[in-house]
Amino acid sequence: MQSLLNKKIVLGISGGIAAYKAPELARQLMQEGASVQVVMTEAAQQFVTPVTMQALTGNPVYLNQWDSSIPNNMAHIELSRSADAILIAPTSADLMAKLSLGLADDLLTTLCLARDCPLLLTPAMNKQMWEHAATKRSAKRLLEDGVTLLGPASGFQACGEVGMGRMLEPSEITEQVIAFFQKKSLAGKKVLITAGPTFEAIDPVRGITNHSSGKMGFAIARAAVEAGAQVHLIAGPCGLDTPLLATGQITRTNVVSAKEMHAATLNAPDSDIFFAVAAVADWGIAKPAKDKIKRQGNQAPNLEFVANPDILLDVAKATKTRGGKPYPYCVGFAAESTDLEKHANEKRKRKGIPMIVGNIGPDTFGSDLNQMVVIDASGSKKIAKAEKLQLARQLIQLVAKKI
């Protein structure tokens, strides 16, 4: 799936060492389906060559406003007229200052002033420069002007220091540009999600788990952030990266057992929507051994199981009301081997939740694809086979309408 299909992005590059990441960024934006038109400042050309950018994007690179090859010699107007967004990566402190003042003394700044499309900046500078009052002033003014700032991040800097000011990685920028274009149907909403498997310890080295990869839950977390929500993700052991972490719109708690997941979920701050996507173990081991259980010839140990709490059921039971409306709106998931719709709907009623999503097998676990049926009191709606992120976005839109 290409999330930037038909999007025209003007990629501005200003002078800074992080410009070395611009070619990779251009490639990633194009892989997502965007067409990329590069504009470089004079200083940027000290760090990366126009030929590199031209070869990667397949488009001529614009370097100054005095280009006689453009029919009416109005490159700044032409470029901004057709763009869906101008993205500047890296954005130096100098460029931020100029843009905040509305200066237009080269092609890139003129383009920004003449634009009628969104402007996204990815600041990249040394930490002293980022923390300087003048840069803070520039950032504040730019935000007031409706400009979007992506990052910066904290970390190792080219100058040898560690701190705030590092440009986001190309993959993080691409993820955030994609998010920028999604419908903000959950703006101001809080979303709680459980995802992945749980692991029930037998002894310090062994345990019982399941095949859940966590991909569906993480895709829903990403789609919810894209839709503007503040997300809290409670993840069982699945080793996936937190999506859109750099937005600051997502927090994560890692848990291992079903009991830990239950406690983390029930103690989480109030949310407007709860997605129970985790494949929670129904039983845990009554008394996990403190030390590794040694082999006793051919004798197998007897394991005693105890039932784990039902997280979704308990969240649903604790539903509160605000302005006459119950919250959180609970969405359960069901993987059934027979009579999916019937069993899923029975499960929905049993757990006292408004919506349940049935996974239409067989390749749900671990796969990037899925197929679902969404069931609520009004009936059921199939969502055709697609990548999990695509399904997650559709589900988010459905739920947003319900609340």
Told to check if 332 binds ligand CTP by CB under 6 A, we report: yes
Per CB under 6 A, the list member of 30, 177, 311, 375 interacting with ligand CTP is: 311
Told to check if 255 binds ligand CTP by CB under 6 A, we report: no
Q: Which is nearer to ligand CTP, 22 or 195 (CB)?
A: 195
Per CB under 6 A, the list member of 169, 203, 310, 368 interacting with ligand CTP is: 310
Catalytic residue among 112, 117, 159, 330, which? 159
Helix (H, G, I), strand (E, B) or coil at 170: helix
Q: Which is nearer to ligand CTP, 9 or 340 (CB)?
A: 340
Concerning whether 117 is annotated as a catalytic residue, the answer is no
Q: Which helix (H) or strand (E) holds 245?
A: none
Contact 171, 164 (CB under 8 A): no
- Determine how β-strand 207-208 pairs with β-strand 200-201: antiparallel
Told to check if 235 binds ligand CTP by CB under 6 A, we report: no
Query: Where would I find the H helices in 2-125?
Result: 22-31, 50-57, 75-82, 93-101, 107-113
d(C-alpha 140, C-alpha 97), whole Å: 11
**How far is CA 264 from each of CA 193, 201, 229, 235, rounded to the nearest angstrom?**
11, 18, 20, 10
Q: Which is nearer to ligand CTP, 26 or 315 (CB)?
A: 315
- Strand ranges of the sheet holding 273-276, from the earlier edge strand across to the other edge: 250-254, 230-235, 190-195, 273-276, 329-334, 355-359, 369-376, 379-387
d(C-alpha 146, C-alpha 139), whole Å: 11
CB of 368 to ligand CTP, least distance (A): 20
**How far is CA 12 from each of CA 44, 69, 98, 179, 243, rounded to the nearest angstrom?**
9, 20, 14, 19, 25
Per CB under 6 A, the list member of 36, 139, 179, 258 interacting with ligand CTP is: 258
Where b means 16+ CB within 10 Å and e means fewer, 217-229 reads bbbbbbbbbbbbb
Stretch that binds ligand CTP, among 63-71, 105-113, 242-250, 327-335 (CB under 6 A): 327-335
Chain centroid, CA 250 distance in Å? 8
Told to check if 333 binds ligand CTP by CB under 6 A, we report: yes
Size of the site for ligand CTP (CB under 6 A): 15
CB of 307 to ligand CTP, least distance (A): 8
Q: Which is nearer to ligand CTP, 212 or 249 (CB)?
A: 212
Region 26-45 residues binding ligand CTP, contact defined as CB under 6 A: none
- Pull the structure tokens for residue 389: 């992120």
d(C-alpha 308, C-alpha 263), whole Å: 12
Stretch that binds ligand CTP, among 30-38, 65-73, 163-171, 330-338 (CB under 6 A): 330-338
CB of 335 to ligand CTP, least distance (A): 6
Per CB under 6 A, the list member of 83, 89, 225, 278 interacting with ligand CTP is: 278
Per CB under 6 A, the list member of 157, 308, 345, 370 interacting with ligand CTP is: 308
Q: Report the DSSP beta bridge partners of residue 396.
A: none
Told to check if 221 binds ligand CTP by CB under 6 A, we report: no
Residue 238 φ/ψ region, left for φ over 0, alpha for ψ in the -120 to 50 degree band, beta for the rest: alpha
> Tokens 């929500």 identify what position?
229
- Determine how β-strand 200-201 pairs with β-strand 190-195: unpaired
Q: Which is nearer to ligand CTP, 111 or 311 (CB)?
A: 311
Q: Which is nearer to ligand CTP, 165 or 354 (CB)?
A: 354
Per CB under 6 A, the list member of 11, 38, 280, 375 interacting with ligand CTP is: 280
The residue among 345, 350, 338 whose CA lies nearest residue 376 is: 345
Region 137-196 residues binding ligand CTP, contact defined as CB under 6 A: 194
Stretch that binds ligand CTP, among 13-21, 153-161, 326-334, 371-379 (CB under 6 A): 326-334
Told to check if 218 binds ligand CTP by CB under 6 A, we report: no
Q: Which is nearer to ligand CTP, 109 or 308 (CB)?
A: 308
Per CB under 6 A, the list member of 11, 25, 276, 373 interacting with ligand CTP is: 276
Which residues are catalytic, by number? 159
Binding site for ligand CTP (CB under 6 A): 194, 258, 276, 278, 280, 282, 308, 310-312, 332-335, 347
